[in-house]
Structure 1
Amino acid sequence: MTVTKIRRSLHGRELRKGYTTGACATAAALGALNRIFDDSSADEISILLPIGERATFSLLHHEIGEGFAIVGVIKDAGDDPDCTHGAEIIAKVCVTHQPGVRFFAGSGVATVTLPGLELEVGEPAINPVPRKMIESHLIPLLSHYGFSGADVTISIPGGEELAKQTIGERLGLRGGLSILGTRGTVHPYSTSAYAASVRQGVQVAAKQNLRHMVLTTGSRTEKQAMLIHSTLPQTSFIQAGDFIGVGLRASAKYAMTHVELVVMIGKLCKLACGTMMTHVTGRQIDFTHLAELLRGHTQDPAVIGEVAQARTGRQLLSIVEHHEFSRAFLTDICRQAAIHSFIYAHKKLVVSIRLIDFDGSTLAQATYGDS
């Protein structure tokens, strides 16, 4: 799927990009440091993003005291469906004569409690790139005014509640949200933060010596997957959403041996056609291809024609579900999805596909890659 397709809404409008929590935290921290050295500093701040672009942020000045200041930035995620859009990212900066910048988790920012992430257990969940951004902006100014370092505490009011909308707790991130971002910008529907959390979920599972991952597309499929695989630890399950391909590649990278995808019919049809990024704004289902697959199960031209003209996976299911060949055809679709997934994961994994219905019942399943 091209970037152009991702960035366009269903109505064809160019969607507006936003900024990461890491960029907002950097702007707030620099604004706070400026405030310490000049209490009449501007209400806007410009920072350099990792991609080489400059961005300007409005500042909310909260408090200033002897050697410290507290400044906030309201996160603008653009048109990306991000739970942190509109949240305030607050930085408290205290200048010190201890070399370097030290980071602390304030209210609403998580602490790392499980191994497997880029940060050590016990560290505030301020990821490496945002840390480097903050350091690169603060250290020159600190040096200019004769200070060796600073303590930086990042807070997000309401962050602990917002974190319930993420998979952070499953990754061992307790107490709130992570400060994320490798580019500084967020592109609509690329949802890079979500993709990163899928990768991190696999990495955490690998650190716990798990080798069987279960990727699901949402809460309904995950709930059923957990009932089916009740003996697996919670860390084995990841809501990959539209990022099935990300989960497969990460599983291959971190030496998983078996990945099961638990999906519903719409996502299954896209996977069977080789589409690993399954967002609704992306590539549509190739029903002509699925109709050709159906020819291996029936020669009824009316049914084949209906499938070829279907508009959704749910419609396809309603066309075939009452025919004798239904289960065999759905199993064939699962097998095609498993083959594409196996290839996408560099042929390093056994891949199982399980198709479930709205009521949680298994309609079909297939496995590929098992020697």
Structure 2
Amino acid sequence: MTYAEPPLREPDLPRTAKVRPTALRTGWTTGACATAAAKAAVTALVTGVPQPEVEIGLPGGRRVSFPVARCDLAPGPEARAEAVVVKDAGDDPDVTHGAHLTATVDWRAEPGLDLAGGPGVGTVTKPGLGLAVGGPAINETPRRMIGQAVAEVVDLTEVGVRVVISVPGGEVMARKTTNRRLGILGGISILGTTGIVRPFSTASWRASVVQAVHVMAAQGESTVVLCTGGRTERAARELLPELPEVCFVEVGDFTGAAVTAAVGDGMTGVVFVGMAGKLAKLAAGILMTHYTRSKVDLSLLGAVTAEAGGDADLVAAVTAANTGRHAYELWEAAGLLGPAGDLLCHRVRQVLLRFAERAVTVDVAMVDFAGSRVVASSGRWAA
């Protein structure tokens, strides 16, 4: 199989990339909302006055105000305060949008801040996240933000404060995240590096992909299985039942970032399982496959069709196809799905090997659009 090797490209989305025709609204991370709730509760505890609004500093230096949905005081020898800030994720499709980030605070004998997770905040059960196993899934930046916000109200070198962050319904929300696979059980994570949720953030998705690879590396696994979504992951699990759950990573559009992380973590094997459209983009050397930055190269699929033995009419039809899926259907109707699909997988395998500088083995499988069966492959499954 000889063909001109495509140049390798890993385009990035600008932060201002539009995915809707109208301007999108930014929102606040769970970390920023938890910080605001904590400061409101501590302020109420100190002043004895429920707080209707609170201002916090973001890591970038900007100061922002949050409305406080609820702020309660329990006076007396066991004095404590509780505040709730409702997460507004802006126009980001976030499962935690509308979550009630709740901070319950009281005094403690020892100076300093004791930060804990309550109901709805996950518990870390596996290494590789940069958090203590057994502790709450409150990431480093939110921890720092909460500490700084509390220190704006009290002197933590002289006063001790206990802050418990909880999220009613967080355990249910977490079912729609990758937390369980990462070993975060019982709730959501308190996240954020800037405090701001940027709509349809490619950066956050890329970061989650890289983190998933780091987690499996920390557990001693050597083969990562990259899947483009839920359907391809189901097929991949059936294809590789011997691998533990942590090995399967939904990369979305960030195959390049995942492969780079795998090589950096010393992995020895990469398996990619995808459908025709993503495979066509990868075969063209595009390692970040979001639709705003790349499109299916139908001329490449036409060349694959010819190489697989398709006649001139089929080559022309595939080259003029509407989508990668349309090309797939044309191959299937012509009885060429297996040969053409194998050739496409071979091209993807060569691209990934080049991108990884042959530091890992690479296997590629194409699944049907239901994710129910593998229809083509290259690498270990090649005939």
Q: Check whether TM > 0.5.
A: yes
Alpha-carbon distance, 1:260 to partner: 0.6
SS of 1:276's equivalent?
coil
Shift of 1:277: 3.2
Are the aligned partners of 1:18 and 1:79 in contact in 2 as well (CA < 8 Å)? Answer: yes
- How far did 1:195 drift? 3.4
Backbone CA RMSD of aligned residues? 2.4
Q: Decide which moves more: 323-332 or 18-27.
A: 323-332
Matched, 1:80 2:92: yes
Pairing 1:69–2:89 present: no
Asked if residue 255 in structure 1 is aligned to residue 266 in structure 2, the reply is yes
Contact 2:73 2:81 in 1 (8 A): yes
What residue identity is the alignment partner of 2:90?
A: G
CA contact 1:180–1:193 (8 Å) conserved in 2: no
Identity %: 38
Map 1:225-244 to 2 at 5 A.
Answer: 225-244=236-255
Shift in Å at residue 324 of structure 1? 5.2
Question: SS state of the match for residue 94, structure 1?
Answer: strand
Q: 1:9 aligns with which of 19, 26, 36?
A: 19
1:290-312: CA deviations, max 9, x gaps? Answer: 33444434574432332222222
1:283 aligns to 2:294 (yes or no): yes
* Correspondence 1:118 to 2:130: yes
Q: What amino acid maps onto 2:363 in structure 1?
A: S
Segments of structure 1 that go 5 or more residues without pairing to the other structure are none
TM-score where L is the length of structure 2: 0.87
Q: Which segment drifts farther, 89-98 or 102-111?
A: 89-98
Partners of 1:6 and 1:188 within 8 A in 2: no
Of the three residues 168, 180, 187, the one matched with 1:157 is: 168
2:33 and 2:85 in contact (8 A); partners too: yes
Contact 2:50/2:72, CA 8 A, preserved across alignment: no
Instruction: Give the aligned partner of residue 221 of structure 1.
Output: 232
**Letter aligned with residue 349 of structure 1:** V
Moved more, 260-269 or 337-346: 337-346
Question: In the aligned structure 2, how far is the partner of 1:247 from the partner of 1:4?
Answer: 19
Contact preservation (8 Å) 1:168, 1:197:
no
The aligned amino acid for 1:283 is: S
Partner AA of 2:133 in structure 1: V
Q: What are the equivalent positions in structure 2 for 1:1-371 lying under 5 Å apart?
A: 1-4=11-14, 7-10=17-20, 12-40=21-49, 42-66=51-75, 67-143=79-155, 147-298=158-309, 300-323=311-334, 325-345=336-356, 347-357=358-368, 358=370, 360-367=372-379
CA distance, structure 2, for counterparts of residue 41 and residue 148 of structure 1: 20
2:249 alignment partner, SS class: strand
Partner Cα separation in structure 2 for residue 147 and residue 61 of structure 1: 28
What secondary structure does 1:321 align onto?
Answer: helix
- The answer as to whether partners of 2:225 and 2:273 remain within 8 angstroms in 1 is yes
Deviation at residue 283 of structure 1 after TM alignment: 2.3
Matching residue's letter, 1:8 = K
Length, aligned pairs only: 366
Could you tell me whether the CA contact under 8 Å between 2:129 and 2:215 is conserved in 1?
A: yes
Deviations 1:319-363 (A, max 9, x none): 222335443322222122223333444543222211011262211
Q: 1:354 aligns to what SS in structure 2?
A: strand
Please give the alpha-carbon distance, in whole angstroms, between the structure 2 residues aligned to 1:329 and 1:121. Answer: 47
- What SS is found at the alignment partner of 1:189? coil
Is the Cα–Cα contact under 8 Å of residues 44 and 58 in structure 1 kept in the other structure? yes
Q: Distance in 1 between matches of 2:322 and 2:256?
A: 23
In the aligned structure 2, how far is the partner of 1:48 from the partner of 1:234? Answer: 38
CA distance in 2, matches of 1:207, 1:272: 30
The answer to whether the 8 A contact 1:97-1:147 is kept is no
Alpha-carbon shift at residue 147 of structure 1 (Å)? 4.2
Once the two structures are TM-superposed, the CA of residue 102 in structure 1 deviates from its matched residue by 1.6
In the alignment, structure 2 segments of 5+ residues that lack a partner are 1-10
What is the CA deviation profile of residues 255-309 of structure 1, one whole-angstrom value per residue up to 9, with x for unaligned ones?
1110111111222222222333334444222223333444434574432332222
Contact 1:80 1:191 in 2 (8 A): no
**1:162 positional shift:** 0.8
- Distance in structure 1 (CA, Å) of the matches to 2:256 and 2:281: 12
Change (3 A) 1:64 1:348: farther
SS in 2 for 1:142: coil
Q: Scaled by the length of structure 1, what TM-score is found?
A: 0.90
Residue by residue, what CA displacement relative to the aligned partner does 1:94-150 show, whole Å, maximum 9, x if unpaired?
Answer: 233423222111110011111221111111110111101111221242119x84332
Does the 8 A contact of 2:41 with 2:71 survive in 1?
Answer: no
1:315 Cα deviation after fit: 0.5
Which letter maps to 2:52? D
